[in-house]
Amino acid sequence: MQQLLFVCPTHRDLREIRKTGLDRRHHVTFHGEDASEHLDNFDPLAYIEEVLKICRRQKVDGIISTDDYPGSIIASLLARELGLSSPKPEKILLCQHKYYCRKAQEKLVPEATPRFFWIDPKERDSSVPKLPFPFFVKPAKSFFSILAEPVSNPADLERQIELADSHLSSFVRPFNQLLKKYTDFSLPANGLIAEEILEGDQVTIEGFVFESKAMIIGIVDSVMYPGTRCFRRFDYPSQLGRHVQERMGEIAQRFIEGIGFDNGIFNIEMMYNSKKDSIHIIEVNPRLCSQFADLMEKVHGTNTYEIQIALALGKKPRFQRDRGKFRVASSFVLRTFEDETVHRLPSPEEIASLEEKFPEIRVEIFGRIGHRLSEELQDGKSYRYGLINLGGDTEKELAEKFLTCQEGLRFLWTRRK
């Protein structure tokens, strides 16, 4: 039985490995915890040395992390030190530094790259973006859409720079440590990027690379709450036209192969503007999307954790389409636009009852009794309090299942006064 080590493991890692039975096919060890929740005092170089000592005492055949930051970078560094299959750390760092990733896109897929400019919070006067208002501003390194906002005038821009400056210094410290040691990038991740506002239908295209050849797994539609950039649900497979999906796949393959990303899973967020018939990259994530792992399994019969494990072991993943139990699948987001105080969360019995009705379901509950939703990790624009993943044969069946779940999960709260 081959030995797999998950570093910076997430709650989804533990759940999906158990749900898919992968822990019965491999000897799986989880080391540490989700470091993205404790970045203020996290030392990535010390963590790497700690794990290397363990790996030198016991056999390890594959190292994995689905954590966006810093887990995926650390896993690739450990794999390189131990001679195991993984994307190169420099490629992970390239994708995660949004400015340098845009520079690579500009070279490899110029038609899919919006205009963009670097903003240095310490030198604001000399780095004013040459874009007309409104435009979009986002940190060079962040996650969960934190501090990613459109700005309409100089005052908005100044406010966004101030917010980002206070947030980024501690958040990007581990990232900058790794940049300095493993790349020749001259710009740290303390800055921001200004870029054209993209409009249209947002999707996520997921794929993997094995021995330098990229393969597309599928495209997930992002459905927003009307008039917002807040996700309502994620639908698979995409409803975009076949020709548009093929163009997206070609852009993804050209970029990901072009930068030399290999032996790993990637997902790329894209925007399709039907009025202009244009496709643009929003951002590139050099890891699997754990929220969608079971959606792929529901439709295709293969969970993307299975693909990730095969790649980590240096094996070609087995993947065939439309072998799953369902024709469609969705990840529904439970969200409110009021900062609620939680008085009751769904009980284990309520969740178990839904699992008995819908064996394919995944339920995640966010929030703590007696606390406001704003105390959880949020996007700054709304308040997420749960996720429900389901499969079905039609969109109508999915909607009916979701309604049953909403009725079966009892949340109680009062709004902030």
Nearest residue to 366 via CA among 384, 353, 348: 384
In a domain, 270, yes or no: yes
Number of Cβ within 10 Å of residue 325's Cβ equals 14
Q: Which CATH number fits the domain that encloses residue 163?
A: 3.30.1490
Residues 186 and 212 in one domain: no
Residues 216 and 362 in one domain: yes
CB 258 within 8 A of CB 219: no
In a domain, 399, yes or no: yes
Mean pLDDT of the chain: 94
Q: Which CATH number fits the domain that encloses residue 328?
A: 3.30.470.20
Residue 417 has pLDDT above 60, yes or no: no
CB 93 within 8 A of CB 73: yes
Burial class (CB in 10 A: 0-12, 13-18, 19+), 163: middle
pLDDT of residue 195: 96
Residues 360 and 304 in one domain: yes
User: Is 403 strand, coil or helix?
Assistant: helix
Residues 282 and 167 in one domain: no
Rg (CA), the chain: 21
DSSP, res 325: S
Number of Cβ within 10 Å of residue 238's Cβ equals 20
Residues 241 and 373 in one domain: yes
Residues 183-240 have pLDDT tens digits of: 999 999 999 999 999 999 999 999 999 999 999 999 999 999 999 999 999 999 999 9
In a domain, 175, yes or no: yes
Residues 183 and 218 in one domain: no
Q: Which CATH number fits the domain that encloses residue 43?
A: 3.40.50.20
Domain boundary among 50, 73, 89: 89
Residues 92-103 have pLDDT tens digits of: 999 999 999 999
**What percent of the chain has pLDDT above 70?**
97
In a domain, 94, yes or no: no
Domain boundary among 161, 195, 229: 195
In a domain, 360, yes or no: yes
Residues in a beta bridge with 207? 216, 266
Count of structural domains within the chain? 3
CB 234 within 8 A of CB 202: no
Residues 174 and 321 in one domain: no
In a domain, 110, yes or no: no
The span from the CA of 63 to the CA of 85, in Å, is 8
- CA distances for 366 relative to 24, 369, 377, angstroms: 29, 10, 9
Domain boundary among 166, 195, 224: 195
Residues 360-395 have pLDDT tens digits of: 999 999 999 999 999 998 888 899 999 999 999 999
The better pLDDT of the pair 160, 244 is held by: 244
Question: Average pLDDT for residues 251-267, to the nearest whole number?
Answer: 99
In a domain, 105, yes or no: no
9: containing domain: 3-89
Residues 20 and 168 in one domain: no
pLDDT of residue 377: 87
Residues 277 and 377 in one domain: yes
Residue 125 has pLDDT above 70, yes or no: no
H, E, C per residue of 88-147:
CHHHHHHHHCHHHHHHHHHHHCHHHCCCEEEECCCCCHHHCCCCCCCEEEEECCCCCCCC
pLDDT of residue 127: 63
Residues 73 and 156 in one domain: no
Residues 70 and 125 in one domain: no
Residues 147-193 have pLDDT tens digits of: 889 999 999 999 999 888 877 777 888 899 899 999 999 999 999 99
What is the pTM (predicted TM-score) of this model?
0.96
Residues 83 and 160 in one domain: no
In a domain, 23, yes or no: yes
